[in-house]
Amino acid sequence: MSTEARVQELLAAGDVRGAAVEAIRGLGPRILGYLRAVLRDEADAADAFSQFAENLWKGLPSFRGESSFVGWAYKLAWNAAMNLRDQAWRRKGRRLATGEASRIAEEVRTKSAIRVERQRQGLEKLREALSAEEQTLLVLRIDQELSWEDIAEVLSSEGQPVDAAVARKRFERLKDRLARMARDQGLVE
């Protein structure tokens, strides 16, 4: 049974806490990998993952099922990553006491094999040239294998929904642009 199906089953049974634990444990390693890829900093990824877990824990009772649960969860992770980037003061503040969701998030983070792959310098330069939205588009489609509908949900912002076909077209244009950039830098022939 998939994590999404188990979470839905627990929610239907009224076990919100159990659904939250299942969601964080089941999706946690993939979400953490996504945050590492987008933020490219282990400490930032850990902070964003803790915030994601807290937001999931608090927001789960209001999940309406208008999108897939996985898409909703990645949207929470995207928001946590973007909020972290917007908080320049984050390194100077003191950490708050760890709640239950943060303890579970830390458990998942430490159990996950920390596999920070060393990428060739040229490929890293290509990635750095991408906006956060472009990086998210690549990671969600290639690394996380999300559907176009889920990716559109993640990229949609309040009042500005993104259509799945538009997300797919952005992806195609981004692939073409990356191929040109890779050729220009001599990474591919």
pLDDT digits (tens, 9 = 90+) for 7-62: 889 988 999 999 999 999 999 999 999 999 889 888 889 999 999 999 999 998 88
63 or 123: which leads in pLDDT: 63
pTM for the whole thing? 0.64
Q: What is the pLDDT of residue 188?
A: 65
The pLDDT, as a whole number, for residue 119 is: 37
Give the CA angle between residues 99, 104, 138 to the nearest 5°. 115
- Contact, 52 vs 35, CB < 8 A? yes
Alpha-helical regions (H) of 40-163: 42-59, 69-86, 100-111, 121-128, 132-138, 148-155
Query: What per-residue confidence (pLDDT) applies to 160?
Result: 85
Q: CA separation (Å) from 30 to 17, 74, 90, 106, 188? A: 20, 10, 24, 14, 29
pLDDT for residue 118: 35
Does position 103 have pLDDT exceeding 60, yes or no? yes
Residues sharing a CB contact under 8 Å with residue 1, sequence separation 6 or more, in sequence order = 9
pLDDT at 93: 54
81 pairs with which residues across the strands? none
Residue 88 binned pLDDT confidence (cut-offs 50, 70, 90):
low
User: Is the pLDDT score of 92 beyond 60?
Assistant: no
Q: What is the pLDDT of residue 116?
A: 35
| Residue 94: predicted pLDDT | 46
Q: Bigger pLDDT: 188 or 148?
A: 148
Q: Taking Cα atoms as reference points, which of 38, 47, 36 lies closest to residue 93? A: 47
Work out whether the CA dihedral 58, 53, 82, 72 comes out positive or negative.
negative
CATH number of 119-189: 1.10.10
CA 79 – CA 38 distance, rounded (Å): 12
Question: Where are the domains positioned within the chain?
Answer: 1-117, 119-189
- Give per-residue pLDDT as tens, 108-161: 666 553 433 333 466 777 777 888 888 888 888 888 888 999 888 888 877 788
Architecture of the domain spanning 1-117: Orthogonal Bundle (1.10)
Same fold? 1-117, 119-189: no
